[in-house]
Amino acid sequence: MSVAGRRVVLGVSGGIAAYKAVGVCRRLVDAGAHVAPVLTPNATRFIGAATFSAVASEPALTSLYDSGEPSPHTRLGQSADLVVIAPATARVISAYATGNSEGLLVATLLATRAPVLLCPAMHTEMWEHPAVQDNLEVLRRRGVHVLDPEVGQLAGGDVGAGRLPEPAAIVAAAQAVLAPQDLKGVRVLVSAGGTREKIDAVRVISNRSSGKQGHAIAEDAAARGASVTLVTTTDRAVSRGIERIAVASAADMQAAVLAHRDASDVIVMAAAVADFRPAAPAEGKIKKDAGVPQIVLEPTEDILRGLGEAKRPGQILVGFAAETDDVASNALGKLQRKNLDLIVANDVGAPGVGFDHDTNAVTLIGTGGPILDIPLSSKHDVARALLDAVVALLKDVRSTS
């Protein structure tokens, strides 16, 4: 769901990551949102309110008493479609959880019935402290959305969990919070990442798939109300409520997918499954002083074809086609051969497309041919467009059943 035309209160609390909130504000405005910034007094120690006033939709506020309004927190809270707190410090999280409304930001949080997205950022020791985690658990139970911090470089040169995600990820999470609940009650199975096929005890055959597109589909499906199972080869974190199954090889993935196939209403096979594996992998490490080994390959399981052959009436099956030439033609052929309802085709040789990138450019192809060309966009935008098409297919199936 787009933030275009939505009123977003952007809360900024006092942490070094406050500088990233300017990027969040700019991206929200560029996406068509009306952004009202609210800074805590401590936030202004790191970045000025004037900066936000210059890029937001209305002047930034820092106090209950500096605007001349009798009740700024109720105006902000009642008019908001979404409240985003980035960064959310341990102090603000605690005040929100306990109802301490001393400042404008927490008073606004208490005065709103709009969805709230918290983006915590702090040092690792603070993030992992039981008091912080208990407060977050309280807020989650109340329906607050939490975008967990990333692992990376922190203030003072430390490295660990607690880093505020980049503005693009925060805006994508905000859009997901506003997503329609049009997949509520739908069971969605998603595969992600590149499989790894054993050569010996230390070496594998794999590919460059990062799993970002599959994870984006899983996250957006969950945001739209689906019950999601994600079979992934990556170690990427997932939101609460998504069932995550870790696998490595094509055989592992096949076993996990087949275990959940019959219970799934929608299956999206976004993983890059290896086509071949060593027929006789070595148990130990192959030593190079023994000469160049002769590795005989055998085909792996064609998971997608098997799913197409066993597809039950009303079940939606989506495949991916990562191509380098004749993209649409090859993808359509794959869709027909494997009995798919929809295929996502992309030219992985194009700049910024496919493996390793945060962006993608794809064509959605159905049984009647191309449905939609999606130009270079974030992988969350691609996920949303794909799920829009899935929702349309589900409506068609239900209307004819």
Catalytic (active-site) positions: 207
CB 21, CB 40: distance < 8 Å:
no
**Coil/strand/helix, residue 370:** strand
Buried b (16+ CB within 10 A) or exposed e, 2-41: ebeebbbbbbbbbbbbbebbbbbbbbbbebebbbbbbbbe
CB 273, CB 246: distance < 8 Å:
no
H or E element at residue 88: strand 82-88
- The encoded tokens of residue 255 equal 């076993």
CB 264, CB 307: distance < 8 Å:
no
Q: Going edge to edge, which strands form the sheet with 266-269? A: 243-246, 227-232, 187-192, 266-269, 316-323, 342-347, 359-366, 369-378
- Please provide residue 197's backbone torsions phi and psi, each rounded to the nearest 5 degrees: -110, 125
CB 77, CB 109: distance < 8 Å:
yes
Residue type, 35: V
The number of CA neighbours under 13 Å toward the Cβ of 401 is: 10
- Please provide residue 153's backbone torsions phi and psi, each rounded to the nearest 5 degrees: -75, 135
- β-bridge partners, 161: 151
CA pair distance 397, 312, nearest whole angstrom: 12
